[in-house]
Amino acid sequence: MNDDKEKLLLSYIEENPFMTQQELSDRSGISRSAVSGYISNLIKEGRILGRAYVLPTKKGITCIGGANIDRKLQCENSLLKGTSNPVKTSQTSGGVARNIAENLGRLGIDSNLVSVVGEDTEGKWLLNQTRPFVDISSTQLLNNETTGSYSALLDETGEMVYALADMNIYESVDIGFIDKRWCTIASSKMVLLDTNFPEEVIKYIIRRCQNEGIPLTITPVSAPKINKLPSSLEGVTWFICNKGEAEAYLGMEIEKEGDYFKAAKAITQRGAKRVVITRGDRGLIYYTTYKEASAILPPKIDVVDVTGAGDALVAGILYGYMKGSDTEGACRIGIACSSITLQSNRTVTPFLTQSKVQKEFSNHFK
């Protein structure tokens, strides 16, 4: 009920930011004292900015979720179990939300990162690597916590064989942490949410974005973590996942081409407006509530490393969408970004620029 009254007051303030609290009371039928309480709460939440109740300017994309250290171990020869395998080891910045935020920054989109890292050497290094491309003022250093890490074992072709994740730090995130940063979140043109944070926090963000009309993109971290999502995806603008994640969320098997579209349609029936399911070297399919559906094939390239390609794809889709592309165009831009990343040994490639994406797009989608 309070949310309805706050929405009503916000609609009046949008019409005339200089309305007095008495005028708001007279027009809404809400008592003067109650209006004062609602206004105080709206200011505290960052949904209006003081006198004369100026609404925050919408800007950029806020990415909420993981910020990790990525360690990659690539086998020099075929992997043999039960013995020592020679590998090449590298360390880069990682985390789904962080990766997408950096990719967006490299593409010229203002991005903010809402996350947590340990107050340790890895955490400080990670923020220093991220800062040139992303606003990290909403990311917190935590005492007595270890920065999240993701270690991937790749075969000699660059395909992932095993992945190990230490994400215990994210269990320290609660709803209060999100509330303190809601002013930044609410002033975004789009929110990107991964599934690293606790279930109650994820559901709170989804519900609040829906209630406040904030466009929301969800991209799961893994099949196990997709179970943190609610059954209802009402208010979700984009839902971008891979085959395994879609199967886990819906409790179905995807085997044939048509199964991908059935799965995507089932996710739209849960409330998401646009659904993308990736298919590895067979590109992606999309299905929307606007009666759009298609498959997009990737270009033929020499793959160096698959890690981070999915995050680049999401960033490319959102970049295209923010620039006014339709669903097909946004997905094609996502494929172009993913292709550039696949040809690099970096989780977030420094070669991801607007001009490079335009060239990759033109070469493949003539």
The pLDDT of residue 365:
85
Looking at residue 253, what is its pLDDT? 97
pLDDT at 49: 66
Shared-domain flag, residues 142 and 285: yes
Q: Residue 37 sits in a domain of what CATH number?
A: 1.10.10
Residue type, 81: K
Q: What pLDDT sits at residue 217? A: 98
Are residues 161 and 259 located together in one domain of the fold? yes
Establish if 56 belongs to a structural domain.
Answer: no
The larger pLDDT score, comparing residue 45 to residue 227, is at 227
pLDDT of residue 40: 83
In a domain, 217, yes or no: yes
> Which of residues 200 and 36 earns the better pLDDT score?
200
Residues 196 and 238 in one domain: yes
Q: Residue 225: inside a domain, yes or no?
A: yes
Residue range 24-79, pLDDT digits in tens:
888 888 998 888 888 888 877 777 766 566 556 678 999 999 999 988 899 999 99
Q: What is the pLDDT of residue 54?
A: 57
Per-residue pLDDT, 53: 63
Beta bridge partners of 241: 277
Residue 12 lies in a domain: yes
Q: What is the mean pLDDT of residues 297-313?
A: 92
Tell me the one-letter amino acid at 63: C
Query: Is 96 a member of any domain?
Result: yes
Residues 126, 172, single domain; the answer is yes
Contact status, residue 184 vs residue 112, Cβ threshold 8 Å: yes
Residues in the chain: 366
**The predicted structure's pLDDT at residue 118:** 97
- Domain match, 24 and 101 both: no
Pairing mode, if any, of strands 111-114 and 216-218? unpaired
Residue 307 has pLDDT above 90, yes or no: no
- The stretch 267-290 carries a mean pLDDT of 97
CA separation for the pair 267, 246 (Å, rounded) = 8
Q: Provide the domain count of the chain.
A: 2
% the chain with pLDDT above 70: 96
What CATH number is attached to the domain comprising 288? 3.40.1190.20
pLDDT of residue 268: 98
**Among 62, 105, 107, 71, CA closest to 89:** 71
Supply the angle between the helices 257-268 and 243-250 in degrees, to the nearest 10: 50
In the predicted model, is pLDDT for residue 96 greater than 70? yes
Predicted local distance difference test score (pLDDT) of residue 267: 98
Residues 166 and 127 in one domain: yes
Give the pLDDT band of residue 18 (cuts 50, 70, 90): low
User: What local confidence, expressed as pLDDT, does residue 50 receive?
Assistant: 62
Residues 258 and 147 reside in one and the same domain: yes
Q: Which of the pair, 92 or 115, is modelled with greater confidence?
A: 115
* Residues 310, 232 share a domain: yes
| Residue 137 scores a pLDDT above 80 | yes
Report pLDDT for 204.
Answer: 97
Residue 133 lies in a domain: yes
pLDDT at position 85 is 94
Average pLDDT over residues 253-261: 95
Residue 19 belongs to domain spanning: 2-44
Domain membership flag for residue 6: yes
pLDDT of residue 41: 83
Q: Is the pLDDT of residue 277 over 60?
A: yes
248: preceding bond cis by omega (within 30 degrees): no
Q: Do residues 71 and 38 both lie within one domain?
A: no
Three-state SS at 76:
coil
27 and 168 fall within a common domain: no
The angle at the Cα of 359, spanning 355 to 361, to the nearest 5 degrees, equals 115
Please give the share of the chain, as a percent, with pLDDT higher than 90.
73
Report the chain's mean pLDDT, rounded to a whole number.
92
Are residues 79 and 220 both part of a single domain?
Answer: yes
Looking at the structure, tell me whether residues 15 and 95 fall in a common domain. no
Question: At a CB cut-off of 8 Å and minimum separation 6, what does 235 contact?
Answer: 206, 209, 210, 211, 213, 216, 271
> Can you give the pLDDT at residue 123?
95
How confident is residue 2, by pLDDT bands cut at 50, 70 and 90? low
Q: What is the pTM of this model?
A: 0.81
Average pLDDT over residues 216-237: 96
The pLDDT, as a whole number, for residue 52 is 60
Q: What is the pLDDT of residues 289-302, one digit of tens each?
A: 999 999 999 999 99
C-alpha angle 198-110-59 in degrees, rounded to nearest 5: 85
In a domain, 53, yes or no: no
The whole-number pLDDT of residue 56 equals 61
